[in-house]
Structure 1
Amino acid sequence: MSDPWNRIVKLHEVSRGPLKLTLEAGGAERADIARRLDLESLSSFRAEIVAAPWLDGLELSGRFDATVEQICGVSLEPFEASVTGDIAVRIVPAGSAHAPPPEEGDLEFDADSPDAPDVIADDAVNIAEYLVEHLSLELDPFPRKPGVTFDYAPPTEGLSPFAALRKLVEPKA
């Protein structure tokens, strides 16, 4: 079993100013990520990230690029696809005055308001895990190989498995 992909940044490391990071998963890490995300393979995964101070936590922003191999949901053939995405996450430590209050009762969702910051238990943020999470959100849940179409023709009346039963129930003329 390979080690998970890690890139830990402590909150105090960004307190003096933004950190510009380039992360690229190696072969063992890509194999582990592909297994976790149920991909055939992950031939590349690279990101340019800025970790900047935000209130008493940090803000991650940047972009990632990956090349994934998935199975077509129509033809069941493997195919490669390029996946790109942006990341923008705010993170605060537990006990922060800026942490969202515990939710009670029904949750209200406002698509126009910014997301609440993530709360971490200690002062360490695994940026690689945030990248894997954002990659999983960008993957097509119903992958289709380019050029493949799904042609469905409903069965004709006489070929239906219930056609024989229908003949038994219908009155004879």
Structure 2
Amino acid sequence: MSDWKHVIRLADLARGTVSVRLEPDAETLGKLAKELNLEALLAFSGKLTVRPWLDGAEILGRYSARVVQICGVTLDPFEEELEGEIALQVVPPGSPHALIESEGSEISLDLDAPDPPDVLESEEIDLAHYLVEQLVLDLDPFPRKPGVAFDYTPAVTEESPFAVLKTLKGDGE
């Protein structure tokens, strides 16, 4: 994904909670917009708090973004403000708290249960990655300009089945 990173190590949390404010520069905003198939990403920032959780970390925070998308109905660009919350847990590889999936086993889903923690690839947490991931989850996959509605009514022609057969038969037969 993006070159934009803000990495903290799980070992850094031994000293206590870490709070950060992330805001990419203009060049990075342009790269992110291209990667996310946005017309433009005008602003993007987040405030995150990372604290120890079991043998991993809990990431909590908020983000705000101003994006320009193309309306799926009118094909006009439009600007939209997005705000969202981030709340997730991460654990290191090999953690006993990670969801273990064995091949061929069934997984039961409880929609009311909290999400299982993400399993990190190493002892590092890329906070910028999680911030961008949350933005992607909150983007509308079928964006519409405010006030625009999709209104399509196909042309209806009432023809009897015999009229259709007559056209297939042709003239003079």
TM-score bucket of the superposed structures, by smaller chain: 0.7 to 0.9
- Give me the TM-score of the superposition, normalised by structure 1: 0.88
Deviation at 1:75, TM superposition (A): 0.3
**2:94 corresponding residue in structure 1:** 95
Instruction: Specify the code of the residue in structure 2 equivalent to 1:114.
Output: P
Choose 35-44 or 98-107, whichever is displaced more.
98-107
**2:149 corresponding residue in structure 1:** 149
Instruction: Specify the code of the residue in structure 2 equivalent to 1:53.
Output: P
Q: Which runs of 4+ in 1 moved over 6 A?
A: none
- Give me the TM-score of the superposition, normalised by structure 2: 0.88
- How far, CA to CA, are the matches of 2:52 and 2:166 in structure 1? 75
Say whether residues 1:4 and 2:3 are aligned partners.
Answer: yes
Structure 2 residues not aligned, in runs of 5+: none
- How far, CA to CA, are the matches of 1:109 and 1:103 in structure 2? 15
Cα deviation digits, residues 14-35 of structure 1 (max 9, x gap):
1221111100111121111111
Counterparts of residues 1-40 of structure 1 (less than 5 Å): 4-40=3-39
**1:137 corresponding residue in structure 2:** 137
Deviation at 1:48, TM superposition (A): 0.7
- How far, CA to CA, are the matches of 1:58 and 1:114 in structure 2? 15
Deviation at 1:170, TM superposition (A): 7.2
**1:114 corresponding residue in structure 2:** 114
Instruction: Specify the code of the residue in structure 2 equivalent to 1:20.
Output: S
**2:85 corresponding residue in structure 1:** 86
Structure 1 residues not aligned, in runs of 5+: 159-163
| Identity over aligned pairs, percent | 43
**1:56 corresponding residue in structure 2:** 55
- How far, CA to CA, are the matches of 1:170 and 1:151 in structure 2? 37
Instruction: Specify the code of the residue in structure 2 equivalent to 1:21.
Output: V
Query: For 2:96, what is the secondary structure of its paired residue?
Result: coil
Q: Please report the RMSD computed on the Cα atoms of aligned residues, expressed in angstroms.
A: 2.1
Query: For 1:143, what is the secondary structure of its paired residue?
Result: coil
